[in-house]
């Protein structure tokens, strides 16, 4: 009997097959509902290897996906990825210092977990203090431009690496951006509010230059944009993320409310939203590969 062909999926909590809701009053069973790769796999009649992991940044997502391509070899037919926030920084392969640390700090939170009072294991390792000290240092405002430039270039490089790797192995490739890719608007708000004294370098014109003038943008634009749902993700460049679709009520979500969240506490995409995510991937797959 010939083994069934495989679809490898990568992503963060929006993809994790063992996702557990953050609402402690709800069912804490891992994988309480099917995630988008499971819906897509059925449509494509492929066995699903879902490598999604809660909290994963894009470095981890790409590594886990590529490792499974090596493991399953010629059985791999398709790779699909829903990328995470661009500013999730992997720390020695252990965890990601996330999310947008500046925003959380301004709200009195630790950047690697929701409260400084938390007993999170990352707090015991001092990761929260490390990120907190970095983003609140007097030097950081003068380095913000370089920091954003690095985040954008590094993540586009990762997308390019995975796309070209799949091409070299004759594997079909489709990806999109799940979470909001980069919260540069919050950086400007913090500067205007006086959290940082240096002049913001992330005004619209400068931000667009960072996107379009980095060495990976043109290559992705010319060779891979049809394989990238919502490319180039940024609304200033007529792109979009999956979060933008569901939060702004754009098709195929149709209206804007909390219907697509797990509940008022857990803002992750719910079971119905996961079905729509799978449909979005399927439609793009059909456009590219027929």
- Domain residue spans in the chain? 6-99+152-185+204-289
- Give the pTM: 0.87
The larger pLDDT score, comparing residue 39 to residue 20, is at 39
- The model's pLDDT over 83-117, given as tens digits with 9 standing for 90+, comes to 998 887 777 776 666 544 444 444 444 444 444 44
Tell me how far apart the alpha carbons of residues 161 and 139 are, in angstroms, rounded to a whole number.
32
Instruction: Give the pair of three-digit tokens for residue 14.
Output: 């929006």
Residue 110: name the closest of 124, 131, 93 by CA.
Answer: 131
Instruction: Give the pair of three-digit tokens for residue 209.
Output: 């230059």
Q: CATH homologous superfamily for 6-99+152-185+204-289?
A: SGNH hydrolase (3.40.50.1110)
Average pLDDT score over residue span 148-153: 86
Question: Which of 57-66, 126-135, 150-159, 187-196 has the weakest average pLDDT?
Answer: 187-196
Beta strands 172-177 and 76-83 are parallel
pLDDT of residue 85: 87
pLDDT of residue 43: 98
pLDDT of residue 112: 43
Is pLDDT of 122 > 80?
Answer: no
22-116-242 Cα angle (round to 5): 40
pLDDT of residue 31: 79
pLDDT of residue 119: 42
Cβ neighbourhood burial of 19 (10 Å; 0-12, 13-18, 19+): buried
The larger pLDDT score, comparing residue 4 to residue 28, is at 4
At 187, is the pLDDT very low, low, confident or very high (cuts 50, 70, 90)?
low
């Amino acid at each position: 009997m010939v083994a069934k062909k495989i679809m490898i999926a990568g992503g963060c909590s929006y993809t994790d097959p063992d996702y557990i809701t953050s609402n402690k009053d709800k069912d804490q069973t891992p994988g309480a509902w099917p995630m988008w790769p499971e819906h897509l796999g059925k449509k494509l009649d492929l066995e699903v290897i879902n490598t999604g992991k809660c909290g994963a940044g894009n470095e981890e997502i790409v590594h886990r996906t590529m490792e499974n391509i090596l493991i399953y070899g010629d059985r791999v037919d398709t790779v699909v990825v829903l990328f995470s926030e661009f500013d999730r920084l992997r720390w020695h392969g252990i965890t990601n210092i996330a999310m947008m640390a500046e925003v959380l700090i301004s709200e009195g939170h630790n950047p690697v977990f929701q409260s400084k009072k938390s007993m999170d294991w990352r707090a015991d390792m001092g990761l929260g203090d490390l990120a907190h000290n970095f983003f609140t240092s007097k030097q950081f405002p003068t380095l913000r431009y370089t920091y954003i430039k690095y985040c954008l270039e590094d993540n586009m490089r990762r997308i390019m690496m995975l796309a070209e790797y799949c091409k070299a192995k004759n594997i079909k490739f489709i990806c999109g951006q799940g979470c909001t890719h980069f919260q540069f608007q919050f950086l400007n708000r913090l500067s205007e509010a006086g959290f940082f004294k240096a002049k913001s370098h992330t005004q619209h014109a400068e931000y667009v230059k960072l996107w379009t003038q980095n060495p990976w943008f043109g290559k992705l634009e010319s060779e891979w944009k049809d394989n990238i749902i919502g490319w180039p993700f940024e609304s200033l460049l007529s792109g979009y993320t999956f979060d933008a679709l569901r939060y702004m009520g754009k098709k195929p979500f149709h209206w804007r409310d909390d219907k697509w969240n797990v509940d008022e506490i857990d803002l992750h995409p719910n079971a119905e939203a996961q079905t729509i995510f799978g449909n979005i991937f399927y439609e793009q797959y059909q456009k590219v590969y027929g």
